[in-house]
């Protein structure tokens, strides 16, 4: 009868673990880069304008009239911003 021994991690599992840690560290550094922050700021401005235009459609205020073409332009701009996302930005 064999005795149960404490199993150690073989080399392939250690290599996979090291690769996973390296990838996670790289993604953390990448998402905190200046390029990602700039992209997120631009996306927030465009998305905020789109949501404000949608809010005017639901709750119109006297003197402001939302234009359907303007809302479509803001929607296209938001989609372009999402499509132009830099690699690694979450």
**Crossing angle of the two packed helices 34-58 and 68-83, in degrees rounded to 10:** 160
Q: What is the pLDDT of residue 21?
A: 94
Q: How many CB atoms lie within 10 A of CB 22?
A: 10
Confidence of residue 19 (pLDDT cuts 50, 70, 90): very high
Q: What is the pLDDT of residues 28-80, one digit of tens each?
A: 887 778 888 888 888 888 888 777 777 666 666 655 555 677 778 878 888 88
Cβ atoms within 10 Å of 42's Cβ, excluding its own: 13
- Assess contact for 39 and 89: CB atoms under 8 A: yes
Residue 12's CB is within 10 A of a number of other CB atoms, namely: 8
Q: What is the pTM of this model?
A: 0.52
Alpha helices, H only, the chain: 11-31, 34-58, 68-83
């Amino acid at each position: 009868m064999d005795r149960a021994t404490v199993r150690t991690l073989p080399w392939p599992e250690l290599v996979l673990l090291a690769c996973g840690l390296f990838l996670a560290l790289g993604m953390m550094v990448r998402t905190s880069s200046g390029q990602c922050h700039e992209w997120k700021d631009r996306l927030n401005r465009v998305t905020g304008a789109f949501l404000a235009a949608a809010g005017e459609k639901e709750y119109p205020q006297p003197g402001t009239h939302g234009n359907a073409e303007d809302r479509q332009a803001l929607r296209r701009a938001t989609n372009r911003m999402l499509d132009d996302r830099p690699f690694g930005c979450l």
